[in-house]
Amino acid sequence: MTKADSILAQFDEHIAKLEADAARERRALEAALRKEKAVTAAPKDAPKAKRPKDAPTAERILEVRGLAKHFGDNAAVAGIDLEVDAGTIVGIVGPNGAGKTTTLSMITGLLRPDAGTVVVHGANVWEDPAAAKRQMGVLPDRLRLFDRLTGNQLLFYAGVLRGLPADTVRERVAQLAASFGLESALSRLVADYSAGMTKKLSLAAALIHSPRLLVLDEPFESVDPVSAANIIEILRKYVAAGGTVLLSSHSMDLIERVCDSVAIIVDGVVLASGTVAEVRGAGSLEDKFVELAGGKSTVEGLEWLHSFSD
């Protein structure tokens, strides 16, 4: 190695270190800002107009502190804090592989975290799972259902597992099927459902025990627009009655329309959170998201795509 090379290498190393330091500082600053915002914003809670008037103050239905999960050397979730007030719809957005599903799985008690606490309605999910899980309705992403049951049987199964008496379950199954447009599908095996129908059925199963908190991972994926509008209406009614929804989605537009507040997760940390208006600032939520997620840097170099091969 020549002298010039070694100097260059040292220089590169130095730059890399500076960059790492800057990133660390930025994260610390953001964390501090977030704490400050939480302290100052919580008592005001101005934008949460959807809560019914008789609810006295915003109840903290979900409190996540320092949640972390490693898979091997790879930190999927690196210390996430999240607060969700009762009677709101909160969206989690992030690029592919940002740790959304991992976070939601740890909140719902499906994945044991390496560190951190999750408290749902005063009950710690990982210390008092019985009390905490009773408050939650869960729609996981990419997990199987017992798909050799008919839709009817699966909803009945979910209802009874949640401790409801048989008559109540039958009644609710009929009503849920009607609201989700699943009546004609109830007698078919879930294995024969389309992706969108499976999603709707899972959502109905998550709602059947009228939980305080709904945790929905990608509830709108592969659902047609009519059904999505229908689901949104159901969720809004549920929230108006005091329920709370925490959902993840890829669709910024949908999050912007549906959610009261939003958290942007990139590389397993929350980069921005607050009400939708706070997070998006001057531009659209999508612009903010792309900016934070560091996109739009790779569109060069595809010039050959501008002329066709024949």
Q: Among residues 189 and 290, whose Cβ is nearest to another protein?
A: 189
d(CA 178, CA 224): 17
**Angle of helix 195-207 versus helix 151-161 axis, rounded to 10:** 30
| CB of 145 vs another protein, minimal distance in Å | 6
The contact set with another protein (CB under 8 A) reads: 108-112, 129-130, 133-134, 136, 138, 140, 142-150, 152-153, 156-158, 160-163, 165-166, 169, 187-189, 191-192, 205
If the CB atoms of residues 112 and 296 are measured against another protein, the closer one turns out to be: 112
- Rounded to whole angstroms, how far apart are CA atoms 46 and 38? 13
- Of 11 and 146, nearer to another protein (C-beta) is 146
Q: Among residues 165 and 295, whose Cβ is nearest to another protein? A: 165
Query: Tokens 């999508």 sit at which residue?
Result: 286
The minimum distance between CB 291 and another protein, in angstroms, equals: 33
Query: Minimal distance in Å, beta carbon 165 to another protein?
Result: 7
Cβ closer to another protein: 153 or 230? Answer: 153
Closest CB 160 distance from another protein, rounded Å:
4
| Shortest reach from residue 271's CB to another protein, in Å | 27
Strands 244-248 and 89-93: parallel
Does residue 80 sit in helix, strand or coil? strand
Q: How far apart are CA 197 and CA 212, in angstroms?
A: 24
Q: Which helix (H) or strand (E) holds 69?
A: strand 60-71
What CA–CA distance (Å, rounded) separates 150 from 173? 12
